[in-house]
Amino acid sequence: MRNRFDRKLTEMRTNILKMGDMVYDELQTALTALETLDTDLASQVFEADNAVNQMRFLLEENCTLLIVTQQPAARDLRAIIAALSIVVDLERMGDKAKSIAKNVPHIVKFPSRPQPAELKQMAGMAGKMLRDCMTAYAQDDVDMARSVAARDDEVDRLYGQIFKQIIGHLAGAENPDRIEATYEVLRTARDLERFGDYTTNIAERVIYAVTGTLTEVNTD
């Protein structure tokens, strides 16, 4: 009975790691579409997001079934509770990738929109944070989880810089298409900032699953 339960827990973790890969790929597709202004590629993100959503529902169902049928306690129960929270945040991260893809058709209207260098930095950091957070989850690595959460401060700082730049551009803009495209760049930066927040949430659940302590690891 215990061996069967352990196999289910391993399957749960494997599928969560798979979901993390799916979200990472979705984000990269959205960012490539943004960089190349490829609306066809952007549309592919919607299909990818549907797959992420379906994985969330499957994992939630499986986790709930494990709780009901196995009545786990102590660390096993924490692992399942953490998993339920992680899949929700992964699904929300997928939503942010989809939101970035949605911005592409609007930005295409004005290709000479402002292109803050910080936006590319944020994109790179967001993807790396997700990758490292999933590694921390796979390896029960509390130190790595804390390191990932700490990087969110830099993501927030970059967003603040972009916000100031974009507001400056909007103040002098008169062309409606330019205003819309510029605003969508700001929305993209906001999506990436929220992506970082969700990664921090996952890091907190990794720490909780391992230590039993649930606390905010980055309160700035």
Q: Is residue 216 part of a domain?
A: no
Q: Is residue 53 part of a domain?
A: yes
* Cα 110 to the center of its chain, rounded Å: 27
Place of tokens 């103040």: 171
Percent of the chain with pLDDT over 70: 94
Q: Is residue 150 part of a domain?
A: yes
The answer, yes or no, to whether residue 59 has pLDDT greater than 90, is yes
- State the chain's mean pLDDT as an integer: 91
* pLDDT attached to residue 70: 87
Alpha carbon distance 31, 35 (integer Å): 6
Q: Is 30 in contact with 97 (CB distance < 8 Å)? A: yes
Q: Is residue 206 part of a domain?
A: yes
Q: Is residue 220 part of a domain?
A: no
Its domain, for residue 120, covers: 2-211
* pLDDT attached to residue 92: 98
- Split into its structural domains, the chain has a count of 1
Q: Is residue 218 part of a domain?
A: no
* Cα 125 to the center of its chain, rounded Å: 11
Task: Give this prediction's pTM.
Answer: 0.92
The two three-digit tokens of residue 179, written as one number: 């205003």
Phi-psi region of 71 (alpha: psi -120 to 50; beta: other; left: phi over 0): left
Query: Averaged over 84-95, what is the pLDDT?
Result: 98
CATH of residue 51's domain is 1.20.58.220
Query: Averaged over 104-110, what is the pLDDT?
Result: 84
The answer, yes or no, to whether residue 51 has pLDDT greater than 80, is yes
Q: Is residue 90 part of a domain?
A: yes
8-48 per-position pLDDT tens digit: 999 999 999 999 999 999 999 999 999 999 999 999 999 99
